Chains A and B, each alone.
Chain A
């Protein structure tokens, strides 16, 4: 069998870590969905203010997206620009 090198262990753990990082996507998904729901509710109550309601909703959703992007960045770094093997 091929022996385990430290490099292989780091890369293997990087694969699992990239997957774990993406679990962060739960949060923005729930939060933006709540915003979408309230947006639909608001448009239903006040259809003439649709443009304003949607603008505020998208603004808030963009802020809620940030942590999901952070998770994606860490996963992409682990996959494509792994800094850990350089430290070995």
Chain B
């Protein structure tokens, strides 16, 4: 190992730590990565809120309907943030990797990977927020078609959610049904 390169030396140094410490440290990094997904709902719901203010200012009589659609759409946009929060909380409080058998390096990397995967939540968050904003705008303009607008908005938001669900599946697989440990 004298002429080992930087990565191997780094990993060898990592392996000098206690097994549990290494996995828990990686879980901390993974939990942080997961919460980056919060960018998405933040941007999206902010857009919806802006469109809500705009819709009410244009047609104050439809303020109730516009606000209702804004809150409905923003609630959907929130889901990705909640899913990321759940993964982070699992890594922190119900860590399934610490007690798992297998190579410590793979388990630690899986904790980081589970967090990284959830970053995908940015997309659904922004996209569903945009849909919520446009739904609010349309409702403000023509409140009598509120139900049609909300239906189209929900349908599109459901499609936008898919990649967030994929990311959640990969994250859960890495944590609870890790196939990589068995390959070693």
Q: Is the CB of A1 within 8 A of B15?
A: yes
Q: Is the CB of A36 within 8 A of B109?
A: no
Q: Is the CB of A19 within 8 A of B171?
A: yes
Chain A's closest residue to B103 (CB) is A8
What sequence of 0s and 1s flags, for each residue 28-48 of chain A, a beta carbon within 8 Å of any chain B beta carbon? 111111111111111111010
Instruction: Give A3 to B71 CA distance when docked, in angstroms.
Output: 54
Q: Is the CB of B156 within 8 A of A39?
A: yes
Q: Is B105's beta carbon under 8 Å from chain A?
A: yes
B123 contact set on A, CB distance < 8 A: 25-31, 33
Q: Is the CB of B145 within 8 A of A43?
A: yes
A interface residues, tally (CB under 8 Å): 60
Q: Is the CB of B142 within 8 A of A30?
A: no
**Main SS class of interface, B:** helix
Q: Is the CB of A44 within 8 A of B139?
A: yes
Q: Is the CB of A12 within 8 A of B105?
A: yes
**Main SS class of interface, A:** helix
B134 contact set on A, CB distance < 8 A: 36-38, 40-41
Q: Is the CB of B15 within 8 A of A4?
A: yes
Chain B's closest residue to A17 (CB) is B113
Q: Is B12's beta carbon under 8 Å from chain A?
A: yes
Question: Which listed residue, A65, A71, A80, touches B159 by the CB 8 Å rule?
Answer: A65
A42 contact set on B, CB distance < 8 A: 152
12 contacts between A and B (CB under 8 A): A7-B184, A11-B105, A15-B112, A16-B112, A25-B124, A27-B123, A29-B120, A30-B130, A31-B127, A36-B131, A61-B156, A65-B163
Known: A33-B129, A72-B170. 15 other contacts (CB 8 A): A2-B15, A7-B184, A11-B105, A12-B105, A22-B166, A28-B123, A29-B125, A29-B161, A33-B44, A33-B156, A35-B156, A40-B131, A44-B149, A61-B159, A68-B162
User: Which residues of A are at the interface with B, using a C-beta cutoff of 8 A?
Assistant: 1-5, 7-9, 11-20, 22-45, 47, 50, 53-54, 57-58, 61, 65, 68-69, 71-72, 75-76, 79-80, 82, 85
